[in-house]
Structure 1
């Protein structure tokens, strides 16, 4: 055996990462389904953080622990906590997650429209030596935007266009006659902060594009309901010293929740793959 072979033989495989998921809805289920095929043996779902009244789901992996109190995270000690339960869940579980795990992946970025809460979470992460990661969700091109923002940016506009069904049960119903809509209609134009506060289930992505670029108050947002649309479309236009770009992505709505898409679960899966895999692209 030569020197190189000896070095290889001494390498020890990494232990599986222990993951706790906050939430147990459609995105959580899709993430578990996808991870079962892509990350089997590399990660273990060790806990689901849910309300005390939430029944165990048939798709939960064997041996998973149900927890209902953030204090229980200290005993569970996961490597990574993944939040997919809404912005109030970020408030309830966020600081405990940062103190118990090395990384908190946040899906409900609208929680960070509150500057004081964002500052508190960042301070907790620094003190605990942990990290907050914003999942890109349905949005593409975030790395390009965050790189462009290293030089001064002049303009960022984030437009979201979704089928009428995606806006049901939101304040859009007070602005538009959704059932009677005959053509695409813009029903919101304003700051990313206002859009995410008003439409947290539909506009989480604008917080991601804002924190990557010009910030919540300088990033412009346009929301559109389109009765002819079949897909959820995001377009991010940016202009600055780097040059300019126009990034667009169309996502298939998730069958069980048209306000989101499979890309939300896929982006979470890629973040976990980056932690557990041998190569990151």
Structure 2
């Protein structure tokens, strides 16, 4: 196993468990699961007992011994984990991408220590095309997100502004502004906006609308880009996970695709 890339997963919820299960089943050649962390250690150890090769359940602060650490934590713990991983020159795959926007010093730390931050496409689409467009002049990048109201309930922006999404009978615009402000106000909902802004023209120039929409059953994101090289309009409708309606099933699959790309001999896409 010495030639394997070792992977640790910070967070053992819907996404973390799905990724760990795939690694344990040997579905990602060249990569092996080294450790996980979880808020409920006993529950995680119970779930781990069913694996072919159970690994330790450790505090997330101790995961940086692995080559790659996948971050699936509440955003409040992001900075501590990121500093630990990047400070040791390892690779961080963050899902709380919005938590990266106000912390540019983490990019400087990665550069200084030889670490790497790999942002997965996650629940979005077309980041390769956006990145390509951003090599030339870009006039605008806009993201319109529509989610079932229950998937937005409890977001800080809604609470702070006394915005209710209960008993809606028609779509309601609950936020319009920059990707930076949207990531701050909806930390569990629109990490896609942060990823889009990093791929394109930055969080202060990327426009975001968020709709609580009782007419949709899937988390829907539409990206529009006006650039010298191309005009892009892309829509994705993600099926929410049963465990967490704020998260789409495709997010875990995106992490698996990111890991496969790291270890594989063929890399497709920008």
Aligned to 2:94: 106
Deviation digits for residues 198-237 of structure 1 (CA, Å, limit 9, x no counterpart): 1010011100101111111111000011112111111110
Residue-by-residue CA offset, 1:159-200 (whole Å, 9 max, x unaligned): 110111211222436554423211111111001111000101
Give me the whole-angstrom Cα distance separating, in 2, the residues matched to 1:177 and 1:78: 43
Of 148, 155, 168, the match for 1:163: 148
SS in 1 for 2:145: strand
1:68: Cα distance to partner?
Answer: 1.8
Q: 1:245 aligns with which of 204, 229, 232?
A: 232
User: Does 2:219 correspond to 1:232?
Assistant: yes
Counterpart selection for 1:206 from 180, 188, 193: 193
Listed as ranges, the matches of 1:252-263 within 5 Å are: 252-263=239-250
Aligned twin of 1:133: 118
User: How far has the Cα of 1:128 moved from its partner?
Assistant: 1.5
User: 1:5 matched to which residue of 2?
Assistant: none
Conserved in 1, the CA contact under 8 Å of 2:134 and 2:199?
A: yes
Which residue among 137, 140, 148 is the counterpart of 2:133?
A: 148
Quickly say closer, same or farther: Cα 1:227–1:271, change in 2 above 3 A: same
Separation in structure 2 between the aligned mates of residue 158 and residue 151 of structure 1, nearest angstrom: 20
SS in 2 for 1:253: coil
> How far apart are residue 15 of structure 1 and its match?
2.2
Please list every run of 5 or more consecutive structure 1 residues that lacks an aligned counterpart in the other structure. 1-12
Match of 1:3 in 2: none
TM-score by length of 2: 0.89
Is the 1:83–1:105 contact (alpha carbons within 8 Å) kept by the matching residues of 2? yes
Which segments of 5 or more consecutive residues in structure 2 lack a partner in the other structure?
Answer: none
8 Å contact from structure 1 (residues 80, 101) kept in 2: no
Q: Structure 1 residues 69, 38: closer, same or farther in 2, change over 3 A?
A: closer
CA distance in 2, matches of 1:55, 1:189: 42
Out of 49, 59, 82, the residue aligned to residue 68 of structure 1 is 59
Residues 1-281 of structure 1 aligned to structure 2 (within 5 Å): 15-37=3-25, 39=27, 42-51=30-39, 54-57=41-44, 58-60=46-48, 61=51, 62-68=53-59, 70=61, 72-73=62-63, 77-100=65-88, 102-114=90-102, 117-118=103-104, 120-170=105-155, 171-172=157-158, 176-281=163-268
The DSSP-based 3-state class of the residue aligned with 1:160 is: strand
Contact 1:183-1:228 at 8 Å conserved across structures: yes
* Aligned mates of 2:236, 2:28 — CA distance in 1: 29
TM-score normalised over the length of structure 1: 0.86
Report SS of the residue matched to 1:239. Answer: strand
* 8 Å CA contact retained: 1:191, 1:219: yes
Secondary structure, counterpart of 2:245 in structure 1:
strand
Greater share of strand residues, 1 or 2? 1
Provide the alpha-carbon RMSD of the alignment. Answer: 2.1
**Deviation digits for residues 231-281 of structure 1 (CA, Å, limit 9, x no counterpart):** 111111000211211011111011110001111111100111012233222
